[in-house]
Amino acid sequence: MDLALFPNEPMPNELHPFIELRSADRHFPSTPGDIFVMVKSMRMDLNYQASKYILSMFKPIANGIQDIQGYKYLDDRDLIDFVDGTENPKNIERAKAVIIDSEPYIGGSYLIVQQYIDKQEKWDSLTTEYQEGVIERTKMDDIEIADDKKKPYAHNVKSKVEIDGGEIKMLRQNRPFGNAMEHGTMFIGFAKTANVMETSLKQMIEPGEKGHHDKLLDFVTAKTGTLYFVPPQSFLDEMSS
Ligand code: HEM
């Protein structure tokens, strides 16, 4: 049975099921999920406790589907050992990239969450030089390679969204998760239009005009994919009053 939590409120313009994508042997599945809660603190035990209470609070209206404990790894690296998040917009540019600035949901945002499992052995069998070509940043000190030297299949070439030569940013709060046997990255991306992230995903998975998909996808497998709407704080305040 479909249950709308806010049946009398307008639907956010771009809220729809995550768009499944396939190209050759690459797949971005679309998986169910209505409510996403991200609990962040410096203490995993408190995160667990908060999550336990939040889950029981939602019990009357929702079943838990997945609880992933992410963590900070070394100096903000993902588990393929590269620093992740460096090119995120900062300060006012961050707000401009993420926060919806038009009615009816000024202050809201869109969120895409995907769980990726690393193909660690395959990744580890590459030389550092090759890995750096996949990301097009240096591994040790996280320096971006010059644009004219980047490989056309590099992750930071294929994921970057440009319109008329101008870059359209998103905010990524990726979190590593898992253990030595199975692990990967939770891609957690926010933007003021879902379209920015959808365009990025399409560019990554499809070969495009130049015939190259994002090489990073040869070393990770997407297991889930869900699009959410993040309501503005004012909306949540109103609901709770
Ligand atoms: C396994 C999943 C992923 C991993 C391990 C990963 C890792 C990285 C790393 C290491 C960087 C370079 C450092 C940085 O600027 O943050 C990066 C950049 C970036 N990634 Fe990802 N990423 C993943 C998935 C995605 C997905 C699904 C998207 C888009 C929907 C995406 C979009 C971006 C963007 C836009 C950049 C910045 C490009 C630039 O302006 O240089 N990433 N990612």
User: Are 176 and 70 contacting, i.e. CB atoms less than 8 angstroms apart?
Assistant: yes
* pLDDT tens-digit series, residues 188-206: 999 999 999 999 999 999 9
Buried b (16+ CB within 10 A) or exposed e, 63-73: eeeeeeebeeb
| 90 domain residue, yes or no | yes
Three-state DSSP state, 117:
strand
Pocket lining: 154 vs ligand 1, CB cutoff 6 Å: no
Q: In terms of pLDDT, which residue wins out, 179 or 8?
A: 179
pLDDT digits (tens, 9 = 90+) for 133-145: 999 999 999 999 9
Q: What is the mean pLDDT of residues 5-18?
A: 92
Has residue 10 been placed in a domain?
Answer: no
* Residue-number span of the structural domain to which 172 is assigned: 21-33+73-240
Q: Which atom of ligand 1 is nearest to the CA of 169?
A: 35
Summarize the confidence of residues 59-81 as an average pLDDT.
95
Q: Quick one: pLDDT at residue 198?
A: 98
Per the domain annotation, does 1 fall within a domain? Answer: no
What is the rounded average pLDDT of the residues 142-158? 97
Q: Is the pLDDT of residue 3 over 70?
A: no
pLDDT higher than 80, residue 1 = no
Q: Quick one: which atom of ligand 1 is closest to the CA of 156? A: 38
| Structural domain contains residue 68 | no
Atom of ligand 1 nearest to the CA of 222: 1
Asked whether 76 and 200 are in contact (CB, 8 A), the reply is no
Is there an atom of ligand 1 within 6 Å of 187 CB?
A: yes
Stronger pLDDT, 4 or 36, i.e. the higher one? 36
CB of 104 sitting under 6 A from ligand 1: no
Domain assignment present for residue 206? The answer is: yes
- Per-residue pLDDT at 4: 79
Tell me if 220 CB under 6 Å of ligand 1. Answer: yes
Active-site residue, from 2, 25, 76, 84 = 84
Strand 226-230, strand 109-118: pairing = antiparallel
Arithmetic mean of pLDDT, 167-196: 98
pLDDT above 80: residue 2: no
pTM: 0.96
**Cα-to-centroid distance, 159 and ligand 1 (Å):** 7
Q: Which of 224, 120, 206, 121 is nearest to 159 (CA)?
A: 206
Q: Are 200 and 11 in contact (CB under 8 A)?
A: no
93-141 pLDDT per residue, tens: 999 999 999 999 999 999 999 999 999 999 999 999 999 999 999 999 9
Query: What one-letter code names the amino acid at 77?
Result: R
State phi, psi for 7 to the nearest 5 degrees: -65, -20
pLDDT at 131: 98
Percentage of the chain exceeding pLDDT 70: 99
Q: 28 in a domain, yes or no?
A: yes
Ligand 1 center–CA 80 separation, angstroms: 12
Tokens describing residue 132: 């750096």
Q: Please state the domain count of the chain.
A: 1
Query: Quick check: is 94 in a domain?
Result: yes
Active site residue 34: no
The mean of the pLDDT values for the chain is: 96
Q: How far is the CA of 22 from the centre of ligand 1 (A)?
A: 19
Question: Cα 86 from chain centroid?
Answer: 14
Mean pLDDT of 32-52: 96
Does residue 38 sit within a domain? no
